[in-house]
Structure 1
Amino acid sequence: MDVVDAYLAEYGRGEQELLQGDRLNGAGIFDGEREFVELADRAYDTDQHGVFRIRAEESALLVIDMQEDLVAPEGPMCVPEAYRQVPRIKRLIQHCRGADVPVIFTEVTIPDDAPHQYRDFFPPIRAGAVSEGTPGMRVYRELAPLAGERVIDTKFGFDSFNGTPLDYVLRQRGAQTVIICGTLTNFCCETTARSAYGLGYQVVFGSDVNATDNAEAQRATLRTMRRGFGRVLDHYAIMCALDGRDEAFEAAASALGAS
């Protein structure tokens, strides 16, 4: 099934309902709805934000919810791919520390007066997972923060900014770019990235250091991030960019004729 057929099937439409060029888009950017859909599909797989350079002195690394209960194989809410990504995330953390990039951790916490119905949606939470004050809510042992590294432990939902001091912490450190890794890709990581973008930060989203429990959801988030919210790069490309070797930026700048 090609992208247009899939698009029609999703909305329960037929080929005959597609708008033609003379009825769509007076600017003439595309010739009809078929081309519109095909161009959009390609755009979701094309870096739309290569025009900003990743600079170590303006960046901060956000390690989202890599906690014992969510990462450890014996944890009640273990995300297996998050566990497997620990060596990559550890490498990225160490690289950031070496480049003087602040590393900030978040811990999602479910207090007794949680503002959402988490216990209704997630049986492990109902059984006590990531409950406030428990060992399982702490950063996974292999990624333990160093003394002086900030841990945002007042995060009661998917958004790392909502009701927490994260925005203040980032601005105090002079961060203009946030690099996001962690779990789950399509919940806390994506929600945090969207909020960061809305607050005016440049967003870098790690393609191989964000994990979730569903392949389609992973791909959907990466495509949406890539098209509308930030740069999507693997952890190696992020480390290279922090070292001043931002090849995607150089290529984009060259294409635009920028210096």
Structure 2
Amino acid sequence: MSEMNYPRERTALLFVDPYNDFLAEGGKIFPRVKAVAEAVNLLDNLRRINKAVRAAGIQVAIVPHRRWEPGDYENWDHPNPTQLAIMKRHSFARGEWGGEWHPDFAPQPGDIVAHEHWSQSGFANTDLDMILKQKGITHVIIVGLLANTCIESTARFAMELGYHVTLVRDATAAFSAELMHAAHELNGPTFAHAIRTTAEVVAALPAPQPVSTPQLN
């Protein structure tokens, strides 16, 4: 693993799938991640890292999954198991509460909101790489859901595209502790440049930018 270094103008936080269905009580998928999410203190860690990167003046990019609409995945030749499950339970349905942003993690002015990804990688068939490259981004810190699917696929793709990749082991969750172990102890070390905790990442960020105050005449 390389030493952490997050240049302010060249780093982005990639926040994957910050939907109510994943992160809120009452979400369609939240019950499956709840035990792991509570064990790692997921929501508080996401709040902490989201606040810290914004204070440091680091770019935030929302990396959303396709919001389900009637007809999605039907009559496809090769829908994957996740897509079949989404088709059955209507996860992240467009126009429904579950497909809305969790209120603590909604996009803010200046954020990138990438095109929705159809499968697991936030880069495949989206505009995310183009926008990051246009902004000179070279380092990505990846958080959100799920550790062993969209986070891992997005992070692997980022590595293949030449980005410096950081996984945050307690700013994500999965359906079981075993899947978290696989994501961070078995698979992550084969592609990520750093695998750290929220506290470690926050400590390595640039100092917060001063808040400018209007001058009174």
TM over 0.5, shorter chain: yes
2:161 aligns with 199
Given candidates 177, 190, 202, the residue that maps to 2:139 is 177
Query: How far apart, CA to CA, are the structure 2 residues paired with 1:120 and 1:154?
Result: 14
| Number of residue pairs aligned between Structure 1 and Structure 2 | 195
Q: Please give the residue correspondences for 1:8-47 in structure 2 after superposition, counting only pairs within 5 Å.
A: none
Q: Does 1:57 align with 2:9?
A: yes
- Give the 3-state SS of the residue equivalent to 1:206 in structure 2: strand
Given candidates 58, 68, 72, the residue that maps to 1:113 is 72
Q: Does 1:232 align with 2:189?
A: no
Shift of 1:82: 4.1
Shift of 1:150: 2.0
Cα 1:187–1:58 change in 2 (3 A) is: same
Deviation by residue 1:113-160 (Cα, 9 ceiling, x = unmatched):
3362457742x6413221344332222112122123222242111010
Structure having the higher Rg: 1
Q: What is the identity, as a one-letter code, of the residue corresponding to 1:209?
A: A
- Structure 1 unaligned spans of 5+: 1-47, 245-259
Given candidates 80, 83, 86, the residue that maps to 2:43 is 86
Deviation by residue 1:67-87 (Cα, 9 ceiling, x = unmatched):
111111211111214474112
Deviation by residue 1:42-97 (Cα, 9 ceiling, x = unmatched):
xxxxxx333x6332221100011121111112111112144741121111111111
Structure showing greater relative contact order (alpha-carbon pairs closer than 8 Å, 6 or more residues apart): 2
- Give the 3-state SS of the residue equivalent to 1:147 in structure 2: coil
Query: Is the 2:121–2:150 Cα contact (8 Å) retained in structure 1?
Result: yes
Query: Is the 1:190–1:221 Cα contact (8 Å) retained in structure 2?
Result: yes
More deviation in 172-181 or 191-200? 172-181
Query: How far apart, CA to CA, are the structure 2 residues paired with 1:214 and 1:69?
Result: 17
Query: Is the 1:103–1:149 Cα contact (8 Å) retained in structure 2?
Result: yes
Once the two structures are aligned, what percentage of the paired residues are identical? 26
Q: Does 1:99 align with 2:61?
A: no
1:6 aligns with none
